[in-house]
Amino acid sequence: MTQKFDEEDAKNLYWIIQRRRPAWHWKGIMHSLQQAASRGASLTQVMAAAEKTWNNQKATTPAALLWEENWIPDTKSKTAGNLMGQMLCVECTPARKHPVAEMTKHAHGWVCNEHQEES
């Protein structure tokens, strides 16, 4: 039985994350965790993502808690993708963000509707 990540879990996980990444602002951490809770992520997913994120050298802010690369690939749902409201298109010049629903993953990254056919 999958347990949903909720607000109480967020409060507890906050302290674990804060200990590993003391430089991160509490508001940013809580915001990312609440996003995860409100989008229906499971407890397992969020805990694994949190651990991957604080070990990820590229993760310099708590917003990285919602990066897809920090989430376990899940073929049954698109939770990680749904967590990110917008994503950068790797083809747009200059780089532009688009709603997740309009993005498609390609070998080299995510592209928007306009650039899907070309790749």
Binding interface with Zn ion (CB under 5 A): 89, 91-92, 112, 114-115
Distance between CA 66 and CA 70 in Å, rounded? 7
Which CB sits closer to Zn ion, 63 or 88? 88
DSSP H helix total and E strand total for the chain: 5, 4
**Where would I find the beta strands (DSSP E) of the chain?**
86-88, 97-99, 104-106, 109-111
Is the peptide bond preceding residue 94 cis, with omega within 30 degrees of 0? yes
Closest distance between Zn ion and the C-beta of residue 87, in Å?
Answer: 10
Closest distance between Zn ion and the C-beta of residue 80, in Å?
Answer: 20
Which CB sits closer to Zn ion, 39 or 115? 115
CB-closest chain residue to Zn ion: 89
Closest distance between Zn ion and the C-beta of residue 99, in Å?
Answer: 12
The DSSP call for residue 4 is: B
Cross-strand partners of 98: 87
Which CB sits closer to Zn ion, 8 or 117? 117
Closest distance between Zn ion and the C-beta of residue 66, in Å?
Answer: 21
Which CB sits closer to Zn ion, 33 or 103? 103
Q: What are phi and psi of 38, to 5 degrees?
A: -70, -20
